[in-house]
């Protein structure tokens, strides 16, 4: 057994786990991890001690892949499609949120401008 199965850093998103640990955390086999890597669903990284491992985000992604593949019965090709579609939806939601913020800002600016014009009009009517 390797001396360092987990590589820890100050940032928990940068914590990497050897396949053995990642498989345990995601409740999959190491062969399933290799299969997902071949399908390019996850990306392994070489850890400090030279062993391939997965970051926390990929372990969480592996849990989702397992759910879609084993529990929902989707083929890995379909899982890839779902993951890409899901990412696109997240991006679109982010863009919609950004547009709503800009629209709200513009609305506030227009209301302030209308208020200013109404006050000027009142002064002219006097």
CATH of the domain at 45: 1.10.1660.10
Say yes or no: 7 and 63 in one domain: yes
38-54 per-position pLDDT tens digit: 999 999 888 887 888 99
pLDDT digits (tens, 9 = 90+) for 66-124: 999 999 999 999 999 999 999 999 999 999 999 999 999 999 999 999 999 999 998 88
* 40 Rama class: left (phi>0) / alpha (psi -120 to 50) / beta: left
Shared-domain flag, residues 79 and 69: no
Confidence of residue 11 (pLDDT cuts 50, 70, 90): low
Residue of 5, 28, 27, 29 lying closest to 17 (CA atoms): 5
Same domain, residue pair 16 and 28 = yes
- Domain hosting residue 61, numbered range: 1-73
- Whether the predicted pLDDT of 14 surpasses 50: yes
- Asked if 3 and 14 touch (Cβ cutoff 8 Å), the reply is no
Q: Is the pTM of this model over 0.75?
A: no
């Amino acid at each position: 057994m390797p001396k360092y199965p987990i590589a820890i850093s100050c940032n928990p998103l940068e914590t990497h786990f050897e396949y053995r640990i990642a498989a345990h955390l995601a409740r999959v086999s190491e062969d399933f991890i290799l299969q997902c890597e071949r399908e390019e669903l996850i990306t392994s990284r070489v850890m400090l001690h030279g062993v391939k491992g997965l970051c926390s985000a990929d372990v969480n992604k592996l849990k989702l892949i397992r759910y879609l593949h084993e529990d929902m019965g989707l083929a890995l090709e379909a899982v890839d499609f779902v993951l890409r579609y899901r990412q696109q939806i997240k991006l679109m939601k982010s863009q919609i949120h950004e547009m709503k913020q800009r629209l709200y800002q513009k609305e506030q600016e227009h209301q302030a401008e209308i208020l200013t014009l109404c006050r000027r009009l009142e002064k002219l009517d006097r």
